[in-house]
Chain A
Amino acid sequence: MTGLSFDLIALQLFAGLALGAIYVLFAIGLSLIFGMLTVVNFAHGAFYMVGAYVGLYVLMLGGNFWVCLIAVPLVVGLFGMVVERFLIRPLYGRGIDYPLLLTFGLSYVMVELVRIAFGKSGYPFDTPEILQGAVDIGVGYFPLYRLFVIGATAVVLLALWLFLEKTSFGLIIRAGARDPQIVRVLGVNVAQVWLIVFGIGTAIAGFAGLLAAPLQGVIPEMGGTILAEAFVVTVVGGMGSIGGAVLAGLLVGVVVSMTSLFAPEMAKVSIFALMAVVLIVRPQGFFGRAGLMS
């Protein structure tokens, strides 16, 4: 096995973590929305794609990448709140499948609207200049931008954790995930909390799309593939569990990048094999579906 040195494997492991970071961001938004609203957001991939396109548009207007990092979650999150308020809210209490079906239809509309606005073909998305190049991380040179993706994900996770664990609003969210009826009885406007949670979840999806854009370019269909892969992450991690989403997201990223090193043609199939194993051994996933942060 010449050429497969320890360093190469270690580098590939880091590449897997960077890829996994995108999965983590995508999946925690999905999990947060499900844990709170019991809505499986099939348009999550579309929000991710819109995030990348909003970033592209900001760059076209002359903004830079740092402006994008602020603008994209704001715009996508606001859009998500509009969707929750006017399209998903009428469906609460009508069965768990209806919001899912609605968001599925919505994803078609969103993808097609982006095709009308930006065209069917994709765009390259330049890596910001300061983040170009590679740095020595001890085992070899690693692209700086991927390191930035891992760092940015860590910051978002930390902020989310602090928000959910240390603020009173976070307490309401966690309580609402356990028992929305009791929270409502205690005088909390649950509808408003759900609106904000949906906004946060979609904002994170848009942010993930922006982070992924320099790695893979921007096309209208970019949300479809990651949605199926994110479902693998949520099944492996346990739906509604943020800790599970983080662990499983990183694991899926590493599995993809390792199989593409050893058996490239199996890279896409490997994560589904992982899911099959988890379903047989532990159908509820690593962290089950107890509460939001438990």
Chain B
Amino acid sequence: MQSSTNEVIQPLPRAQASPVGWFELAKLHRASLASLVVLVFPLVMPFTALAANILIYGLFALGFNLVYGYLGLLSFGHAALFGTGAYFCGIAIVHLGLPWYAAIALGVVGGLLMAAVIGVLAIRTRGIYFAMVTMALSQCVYYLFYEAVDWTGGENGLRGINIHQISVFGLKLDFINPLTRYYVIAAFVIAAFFVLSRILASPFGAVIEAVRENEARARASGYDVTTTRLITFVLSGGFCGLAGALQALHLSIVPIEILHYDTSGIVVMIALLGGMGTFFGPMIGAAAFLMLENLVSTWTVHWQLIVGAVFMICVLFFPAGIWGTLIKRIKP
């Protein structure tokens, strides 16, 4: 028996950092790939206004997916984060007279703040409670904004968010032109892609997924599960707040329905349809959902019937969603 006490333990060889196959390469450059798709999208999609809508809801779902897909908490209150972003952006323009970029920043801050408030309360509950508490709290936010008529316009919604022209570093852009508007929105969405990709690739991103996979083990490894959840929820609020702010600029009105329980439901459907816990899923889900809604509503007013049925079929037979199912097939 050889003694090995005085032997220096050699560190393991550094894990291969360079990607080997095309799949890993694509995964490494996922944000760039997604940006590329977003940039070409209006060239193949004839309805630019719908395309902008898809971008915004895709970004909203991206934020939701961070909590549901990556952290594993099902929130039914994301309308509050999206809606607060939209209202903060709208109020900044209509009541405070701030420029458009400051309004968007305020929208993001609104999303972060609302997520912090809802998060602190909802994270105290576990498991299935989370869906119920977030839904109830977002309903509360709905009533609060509904009652604050002076600031939000109450039932009529917040009107008059009219941005005709925006200037970026002296460059004047016509915000009325649908294509220009699309690319302005796209610039923010692309920035969000890179930020999200960075978060997910960071050590903190690994902790997020560790909490989802095995809470007890993550806690035993010394990670603060509650704080991780709260921070992730707040980050999600930032993305959703940005999406809401862009929605306010896109629609030039914030309807009170934006805070309705249905909006929370729509983002759940989009995320599941696209494939939860995948990077591209939310955008694909938003495209599929909004195109389906557009298509069905041209021949029947009862589009909710079709959408609900499609969603049920998805839950029963394709729980991985469009992208999740596809990626399983093509993964080498």
Asked if A pairs with B, the answer is yes
A interface residues (Cβ-Cβ under 8 A, vs B): 34, 38, 40, 87, 90-91, 94, 96-98, 100-102, 104-109, 111-113, 115-116, 224, 227-229, 231-232, 234-235, 239, 265, 268-269, 272-273, 275-276, 279-280, 283
User: Shortest Cβ distance from A125 into chain B, in angstroms?
Assistant: 24
Cβ B308 vs Cβ A105 within 8 A: yes
User: Shortest Cβ distance from A30 into chain B, in angstroms?
Assistant: 9
Cβ A91 vs Cβ B311 within 8 A: no
Q: Please tell me which one of the listed residues B136, B269, B309, B311 contacts residue A231 in the complex, with CB atoms under 8 A apart.
A: B136
Q: Which residues of B contact A273 (CB under 8 A)?
A: 140
Assess whether B143 is interfacial by the CB under 8 Å rule.
yes
**Complex alpha-carbon distance, A234 and B125, angstroms:** 12
Interface string of B306-319 (1 = CB under 8 A from A): 01110110111001
Cβ A276 vs Cβ B121 within 8 A: yes
Cβ B308 vs Cβ A98 within 8 A: no
Who on chain A is nearest to B77 by CB?
A228
Q: Which residues of A contact B316 (CB under 8 A)?
A: 87, 90-91, 102
Instruction: With A96-B128, A100-B74, A280-B121 as known contacts, state yes or no: A272 contacts B315, CB within 8 Å.
Output: no
Cβ B304 vs Cβ A231 within 8 A: no
Could you list 17 A-B pairs, sorted by A, with CB under 8 Å? A91-B315, A91-B316, A97-B131, A98-B315, A104-B311, A106-B312, A108-B265, A109-B304, A228-B136, A229-B136, A235-B125, A235-B129, A239-B129, A275-B136, A276-B121, A279-B122, A279-B133
**Complex alpha-carbon distance, A228 and B80, angstroms:** 14
Assess whether B144 is interfacial by the CB under 8 Å rule.
yes
Q: Which residues of A contact B304 (CB under 8 A)?
A: 108-109, 111-112
Q: Which residues of A contact B124 (CB under 8 A)?
A: 279-280, 283
Q: Please tell me which one of the listed residues B132, B147, B265 contacts residue A235 in the complex, with CB atoms under 8 A apart.
A: B132
Cβ B132 vs Cβ A40 within 8 A: yes
**Complex alpha-carbon distance, A34 and B128, angstroms:** 10
Assess whether B164 is interfacial by the CB under 8 Å rule.
no
**Complex alpha-carbon distance, A113 and B308, angstroms:** 11
Cβ A106 vs Cβ B308 within 8 A: yes
**Complex alpha-carbon distance, A219 and B135, angstroms:** 21
**Complex alpha-carbon distance, A174 and B306, angstroms:** 38
Assess whether B172 is interfacial by the CB under 8 Å rule.
no
Cβ A112 vs Cβ B136 within 8 A: no
Who on chain A is nearest to B307 by CB?
A108
Cβ B144 vs Cβ A269 within 8 A: yes
User: Shortest Cβ distance from A288 into chain B, in angstroms?
Assistant: 12
Assess whether B332 is interfacial by the CB under 8 Å rule.
no
Who on chain A is nearest to B73 by CB?
A97
Interface string of B110-154 (1 = CB under 8 A from A): 000000000001101101110111011101100110010000000
Assess whether B185 is interfacial by the CB under 8 Å rule.
no
Assess whether B194 is interfacial by the CB under 8 Å rule.
no
Instruction: With A100-B74, A108-B311 as known contacts, state yes or no: A272 contacts B319, CB within 8 Å.
Output: no
Cβ A101 vs Cβ B305 within 8 A: no
Assess whether B328 is interfacial by the CB under 8 Å rule.
no
User: Shortest Cβ distance from A141 into chain B, in angstroms?
Assistant: 31
Instruction: With A100-B128, A102-B316 as known contacts, state yes or no: A113 contacts B305, CB within 8 Å.
Output: yes
**Complex alpha-carbon distance, A231 and B136, angstroms:** 7
Assess whether B103 is interfacial by the CB under 8 Å rule.
no
Q: Which residues of A contact B127 (CB under 8 A)?
A: 96
With most chain B CB atoms within 10 A of its CB, the pick from A102, A106, A116, A228 is A228
Q: Which residues of A contact B268 (CB under 8 A)?
A: 101, 104
Cβ B121 vs Cβ A109 within 8 A: no
Instruction: With A235-B133, A279-B133 as known contacts, state yes or no: A104 contacts B265, CB within 8 Å.
Output: yes
**Complex alpha-carbon distance, A40 and B143, angstroms:** 24
Q: Which residues of A contact B307 (CB under 8 A)?
A: 108
With most chain A CB atoms within 10 A of its CB, the pick from B124, B127, B269, B312 is B312
**Complex alpha-carbon distance, A157 and B312, angstroms:** 33
Q: Which residues of A contact B272 (CB under 8 A)?
A: 101
**Complex alpha-carbon distance, A163 and B265, angstroms:** 36
Instruction: With A96-B127, A105-B308, A112-B302 as known contacts, state yes or no: A272 contacts B139, CB within 8 Å.
Output: yes
Cβ B136 vs Cβ A87 within 8 A: no
User: Shortest Cβ distance from B112 into chain A, in angstroms?
Assistant: 19
User: Shortest Cβ distance from A195 into chain B, in angstroms?
Assistant: 18
**Complex alpha-carbon distance, A40 and B269, angstroms:** 17
Cβ B143 vs Cβ A109 within 8 A: no
Interface string of B278-291 (1 = CB under 8 A from A): 00000000000000
User: Shortest Cβ distance from B299 into chain A, in angstroms?
Assistant: 14
Interface string of B226-241 (1 = CB under 8 A from A): 0000000000000000
User: Shortest Cβ distance from B9 into chain A, in angstroms?
Assistant: 41
User: Shortest Cβ distance from B312 into chain A, in angstroms?
Assistant: 4
**Complex alpha-carbon distance, A19 and B230, angstroms:** 35
Cβ B308 vs Cβ A275 within 8 A: no
Q: Please tell me which one of the listed residues B144, B261, B312 contacts residue A228 in the complex, with CB atoms under 8 A apart.
A: B261
Instruction: With A112-B308, A235-B133 as known contacts, state yes or no: A105 contacts B125, CB within 8 Å.
Output: no
Instruction: With A38-B128, A96-B127, A116-B302 as known contacts, state yes or no: A272 contacts B312, CB within 8 Å.
Output: no
**Complex alpha-carbon distance, A104 and B312, angstroms:** 8
Q: Please tell me which one of the listed residues B128, B137, B315 contacts residue A105 in the complex, with CB atoms under 8 A apart.
A: B315
**Complex alpha-carbon distance, A101 and B265, angstroms:** 9
